Amino acid sequence: MDIRYVTESADDVVSALNDVNIFSIDLETTGLTPIDSRILLCQIGLPDNRVFVINVNSVNLGPILPFLSSVKYTKIIQNSKFERRFFLAKYKTLIRNVFDTQLAERLLHPDNYNYGLKALAAKYSDVALDKDIRSTFIEKKKNDFSEEQIKYAAMDADVLWNIMDRQQHKLDELGLSRVAIVEFDLAQVIASMEEVGTPIDRTKWQAKLNHYKELHEESRLKMHDLLFSEDNLDEQLGLFERDGINLNSSSQIKKAFNEIGINVDTTNEREIALVNHPAAKELLVYRGFQKILSGRTWRSCHESD
């Protein structure tokens, strides 16, 4: 990895970008949201293993912005929604044509719960990233950076190449490449919505929410009837109190399913969807309502004019 620390002008970066059609990009910031955080470093990685680490405090990113918004250049980003929110808030710039390594991993392994860059770097590149250094950027006041911080920032951009290459091969193999493009593009929309917000009619939304609560409860009661028949209720309940089974607990659901003859290794949606039993079908319905209600985004929404 050839690290180029940029502190005066972005001319060399622009010159390098003119010679490629794909690059990786990553940001180091003082926090997680643009409203109360600053961009400290902007890292741009090239196919030849050069990584430009730009000190945003002293370098104008303006000349680089057209490359971000142009669809002629593919941008490799981990969790692109983060970078997109910052560039939208700070520079009014959209990032188009993205390969998002985090979203790609979610498509490839939906049952996995670790999509962080540290995990992906170890999995695809056999690289151990020291993410503890990330904390040194939080609420940072000074504009100078240590060699350790610069190297850490550069590595975050450089490691994305191997991850992307292997993920793209797998996406093609599974026929998920077009789906991935839709997901990557949608992240821009979500980033814009989170940054700008979207007005809603709170009264109508509250009415819908109450309706979902009713459907959620109806589904819960139906699940209880399907899992615990009156004929052998006492025997079946076993570890559970009547009405006390937690339908959000995978272990309890698995035990309850075993009691009625449904033998499954896991209770993830992919496996449950393959089970031809009313209880399995109803569990998917219940989980659908649970997801809607657990979001609770309506609390922070304002009424439309």
Domain holding 293, by residue range, is: 202-300
Closest CA to 227 of 281, 271, 268, 270: 281
Q: Taking the alpha carbons of 79, 80, 86, 89 in that order, is the dihedral positive or negative? A: negative
Q: How far is CA 301 from CA 88, 294, 296, in A?
A: 20, 15, 10
Three-class SS state of 26:
strand
Convert the pLDDT of each residue in 217-234 to its tens digit.
999 889 888 887 655 444
Q: What is the CATH number for 170?
A: 3.30.420.10
Do 24 and 84 have their domain in common? yes
Do 218 and 164 have their domain in common? no
Do 211 and 157 have their domain in common? no
Do 185 and 221 have their domain in common? no
Residue 174: both structure tokens together: 């599974």
Convert the pLDDT of each residue in 142-195 to its tens digit.
778 999 999 999 999 999 999 999 999 999 999 999 999 999 999 888 888 887
Three-class SS state of 245:
coil
Residue 305 lies in a domain: no
Global pTM exceeds 0.75: no
Closest CA to 137 of 150, 126, 119, 120: 150
Do 84 and 139 have their domain in common? yes
User: What is the count of structural domains for the chain?
Assistant: 2
Strand partners, 28: 41
Residue 290 lies in a domain: yes
- Measured CA to CA, the distance from residue 177 to residue 249 in angstroms comes to 33
Do 105 and 177 have their domain in common? yes
Do 16 and 140 have their domain in common? yes
